[in-house]
Every structure is written in C-alpha cells, then in structure tokens.
Structure 1
C-alpha cells in the first residue's frame, strides 16, 4: 500500500502572528508560514491507512524552498518515509488550476521514479484560499476516482477497493457509504477521526512514532526537490502564466474590534505607572 499526502504552507492567521499593511492587506513576507490546518485530517487518514495495512507514505507539496519545514512537520504527523517538494520560480503565483497541473505532474513523476500510488490524500481546503478546488482538480487531471468529505475509511487491498463514509451537507446533513476502486483520491473532512480499535494497531502506531522521531530530526535529508524541468512541464502552463483565474479586486481584511477597553500609559508618566503597579500588585501576590 503506497500513499501520498498533499499539503501546503499557509500564512499563520493566529492572533499576533499575522501582519497587515496600512491598507489591511496581508504581508506574506512578515507573516510566519505554517502547515495548512485542514491538511492535518488528510495526514491522519493516511496514517490510519498505514497503521492498518502497512506500506509506504510520502508527503508532497508545491511551494518555495522554505516549504521544506512544512514537509518536516508533516513527516512527524504521518510518520512519512520521504518528502517531495515541487519548487520552481515558474510555479509562483499559481491559481488552483495551475497548482493541480503541477501536482498531477509530480504524482506522475513519482510513479515513474518511486512506485505506483494506491491512494492520494488531500485536505478539505486551504486557510488562505478557501476554494477547496485543488484536491478535486488534481484528481481530475489524474483521471482518478475521488471521495470527498471522508469521515471514515477502510481499505480492501486484495480487492483494490476502498469503502468510505462521507458527509453530505444540505438542509439536513446525511452520511453516505461509498465504494471506489484503487488508485483513488481521498479528501478528508475536518470531522475525520482516526480509529485504532485493535491492540495490534495501537502497538504499530507507537512503533511508527518511535521510528519516525529520529528520521524527522534530519527531515531535510529525506526531501527530494523537483523543478518544472524534472516534471516535464511547459512554463507557460503553470504558475501565473498558466493560471486562468482573474482576480478583479482584493478586499482588505478588517481589523477585529477590541473586546475590552484599554488605557494608554506613557512610561515617562510617574503617576500613571504608579497606578499600573497598584493595579497589578494583587495579581502578583496571587490575589484575584
């Protein structure tokens, strides 16, 4: 069983980490990059598959060289064997379509150089795009079946088949059971929860975690970088040049309203600083 997990780095939107300019636009250069939160569910789905059925797990991402750190983080999450970064200036500013074309080329190159893939896992959507297009578009480019909003997953390797429970949202949410042939794409829902009911599975989980810790410390030794030439891609079909999306405008992100009143005190104001100390003294002494 060979699986590949797609992941991406996104700006850290947590309070105090994200940086905006005066117009309210995100400043990516001044904002830390973290692994896309929704990708964690894809990683957990891949890990469950490996624990239950064994095999090989790889993680793949498209982005700048700095994404190696994101791949290293993913290696620790899914206990991956190796990491693949599709990185080239020609890939910059890609929309979801151009990203999917690049990722599908990466998966095809992987199959040629590493081995046949049984499953590709992807997150529901990215925190910086919110479109949810990349996983489905990559599946389309590969001409593989796809299961979206997966809540639970079971594999029948001997039958080259997967069975999944997926969430169907509507006026009343429903859960349906679907089957798909392998190879296949799986887009994990944020409500996906891995299950390790058997003692053998829990022991295997612990073994993999212990084995991966040493590998993850030297994660850069396990990263393979492919540029557009290695992927046999025409620069005109990827990146900004290969992106059909036209952004008509960008609205600034509104600043969150203050949830409590604040009193500004100049450090040079002795009376003001005395008041601050008097206010804080009860807390320093363990009072309430």
Structure 2
C-alpha cells in the first residue's frame, strides 16, 4: 500500500494575526503546530501500516519553509517520506487554489514515489474550518471520497471506512484509489520514539515549486486563482461577564433572578 497524507502547519494561538492589505494570515513569528485533524489522518495511515508493514506513508505540506518542522514531526511519528510544496506564486491561495495546487503535486509525487492507493487528510484545518480542501482534491483528481472518517482498514481490495454521521457511525466500502478525510476518533495519535526523532531531525526534506509541476496553470493558483474574497477580518471583543446570583436558598435565588428579569423587562 502507498498512502499520501496531506498535513498543514497551523498557528498555535488564540489571536490570529491578519495582513490588513491582503487579508491573509501572517505566519512569520507565530508559534505553529501540526493541524490536529491531520494528526488523526496520519495515525489512521500508521494503523494500516501496522497491519501491512510494507505500506509506505508519504506526507505532503503546502506552506513556507518553516512548515518543514511539522513534516519532521510526521517523520518522527510514522511517515517514511516527506515533501514540502512551497512557492511565492502559491501565496494567498484559498481552498480552491490550494486543492488545485496539491492535486497537481500529487501527479508529480506519483512519478517519484509510485501511485497512491489512498490520500488521507484531516477533515479541516483549525485556522480556517472550511473542510473543503480534502473533498476538492478528490474532485480535481476524479477520485471517490469519504469524509468525517473515524478509522479505516483495508479489506478485500477495498478500504472499509467507519464514517461519523448524525445518527452514529456508518460503515462504507470505497474502491481504491480514494480520498478520505478524518475527524476526531476515540483514540489519540501515537507518540514519536527517540530513534525516529533523531532520524527525522537529520532528514532532508525536498521542496517542490511551480517549476516542478509542468502541467500546473498558475492562473488557478495564488491570489489570482482564488475566488474567495475576504471583506473584513477582526478579533471579536470580549463581552463583560453576566450577573452572578448567589443566595443561601434556592427560593431566595429564584426570587432575585425573577426580579432582575422583571426589571429588565425580559419577563
């Protein structure tokens, strides 16, 4: 089996910095982490490899050079190979442009690493919460997809996926190759061991640019290829706390609450 896991480095902060002109995230100097949902996708791939040790896991991230940190983290946890997709011409890409660029890079990676049986992604990135990139990659590549996966296993030449639904869990069989996006399962991702950490720190991570993707149309990449337009960004103001009612008895507290609501003409 050959599995590609798409990961993203996201800001580890509660207050995102925004470029006031481009309305894009300012990543320089902001502490970053591996997107948690992508961590679940990587663990799902690792669990498949546990059952079939011949499985190869390749991770891909699109972003600035500092994104190599999360790629090395993935190598330390479970990945066998890692690639960074980075080019100034890709800057400012929205989900549509990002998914297009990644789909073009998949074609290049398959020349280098062989055809992928599965492409795993997190269901969404915590710095955007759109949940669009994974499904859009599937559409660009013309592959079947399953979203909101909890876990997956190979059976009878297909991938059996446990998918989260409003009613509970549905079991879906999907033909290979396919794209699967993962939500939070019942288990947590494994930790890296010392041996893999040391090897990951020494690893050289190749960078793919637009020049490495001969079929890419740059009109569909970056800001020019992004139909999403941000009109305004802001950090919501913190609201002041409400009224705390603390009386000796339930009856006294109820009476005080009733008076407050009556004075405010709410009731």
Could you say which residue in structure 2 is the equivalent of 1:179? 173
Matched residues in 1 for 2:229 and 2:239: separation? Answer: 32
**2:232 paired residue number:** 249
Query: Secondary structure at 1:241's aligned position in 2?
Result: helix
What residue number does 1:168 align with?
165
For normalisation by structure 1, the TM-score amounts to: 0.74
Q: Give 5+ residue unaligned stretches, structure 2.
A: 242-267
Q: Is the 8 A contact 1:152 1:166 kept in 2?
A: yes
Matched, 1:212 2:201: no
Alignment-derived partner of residue 39 in structure 2 = 40
- 1: CA distance, partners of 2:63 / 2:17: 22
1:148–1:186: 8 Å Cα contact kept in structure 2?
Answer: yes
1:192–1:59 CA distance, 2 compared to 1 (3 A): farther
CA distance in 2, matches of 1:258, 1:50: 51
The equivalent position to 1:237 in structure 2, one of 187, 201, 220, is: 220
Mapped to 1, the partners of 2:37 and 2:185 lie a distance apart of 10
**Matched residue SS, 1:13:** coil
**Cross-structure match for 2:147:** 148
State the 1:213 CA deviation.
3.1
Q: Does 1:64 align with 2:25?
A: no
State the TM-score, normalized to the length of structure 2.
0.80
Question: Aligned partners of 1:7 and 1:20: how far apart in 2?
Answer: 21
Structure 1 gap ranges (5+): 196-204, 260-288
CA distance in 2, matches of 1:133, 1:126: 9
Q: Is the 8 A contact 1:152 1:194 kept in 2?
A: no
Which residue of the partner structure matches residue 275 of structure 1?
A: none
Please tell me whether the aligned partners of residues 80 and 212 of structure 1 are also in contact (alpha carbons under 8 angstroms).
Answer: no
2:183 to 189, 203, 208: 189
Coordinate RMSD, CA, aligned? 2.5
Q: 1:52 offset after TM fit, Å?
A: 1.1
TM-superposition CA deviations, 1:189-217 (whole Å, max 9, x none): 1125379xxxxxxxxx99x9565233212
Instruction: Specify whether residues 126 and 253 from structure 1 end up closer, same or farther in structure 2 by C-alpha distance, changes over 3 A only.
Output: same
Q: How far did 1:256 drift?
A: 4.5
Matching of residues 54-203 of structure 1 within 5 Å: 54=53, 55-77=55-77, 79-156=78-155, 159-169=156-166, 173-191=167-185, 193=187
Cα gap change, 1:125/1:19 in structure 2, threshold over 3 Å: closer, same or farther? closer
- 1:70: Cα distance to partner? 1.5
Q: Deviations over 1:99-127 (max 9, x none)?
A: 00011111111112220111111001111
Could you tell me how far apart the structure 1 residues matched to 2:68 and 2:100 are?
21
Stretches (4+) displaced over 4 A: 18-21, 208-211, 255-259
